[in-house]
Structures are given as C-alpha cells and as structure tokens.
Amino acid sequence: MATVFLPFALRKYADGAERVVVPASTLGELIENLEAAYPGTKRHLIQDDALKPGLAAIVGLVATRRGLLQKLDDDVEVHFITAISGGASLTDRSRH
C-alpha cells in the first residue's frame, strides 16, 4: 500500500483529504487505482500514457526517472509535484 500525498488541486476528488492510501505495486497501477477510488484524478497526472510533462513523481525520498514503470515498496510515500517552471500545470493544459 502506498500513501499518496494529493496535490492540493486534487484533494477535492477525495473529500479534501491531504493523503490517501492506495494499493499498488507500480506507479502506473497506483494512478489507475487512484482514479478508481477518486474519479477525476487521472487526467491531472497522465498524458499520452506517461506522466504529464512538467510533473515529477517523488517515490520515497527521490524523484523517480522510471515513470509509470516505477516499482513501489510497501508503505512508500508518493508525491506529485510540478517541475521547476511555474508554467507547467497539474491540470489539463491541452484544453486551454
């Protein structure tokens, strides 16, 4: 089980929860299971079957470079944060 620290903009899908626990063995599976439990979250995190450009996933203590393939240990923390530029958004910019 991974503990997902929800970005503020996604907390509305989880009744304002700061963090949620999601069963998953990979990051890709985590995002699918997150969507199943909290519909609406996936489109903020995925684009073209990959993490959105400008979005980084922190797994444990470091930013993963394995993307959706990243394996998750039990009880690991997962964070989604934006890249250094403030221009990258967590929300669906493709429709902007």
Q: Considering CB under 8 A, how many residues would be counted as binding another protein? A: 35
Q: Indicate whether 15 belongs to the interface with another protein (CB under 8 A).
A: no
Q: Indicate whether 5 belongs to the interface with another protein (CB under 8 A).
A: yes
Nearest to 46 by CA among 30, 62, 64, 23: 30
Among the listed ranges 20-28, 31-39, 60-68, the one in contact with another protein (CB under 8 A) is 60-68
Given 1, 21, 36, 63, the residue binding another protein (CB under 8 A): 63
Alpha-carbon span 69 to 26, nearest angstrom: 6
Alpha-carbon span 50 to 21, nearest angstrom: 22
CB of 93 to another protein, least distance (A): 7
CB of 70 to another protein, least distance (A): 9
Enumerate binding residues for another protein (CB under 8 A).
Answer: 5, 7-10, 12, 18, 44, 53-54, 58, 60-65, 71, 77, 79, 81-91, 93-96
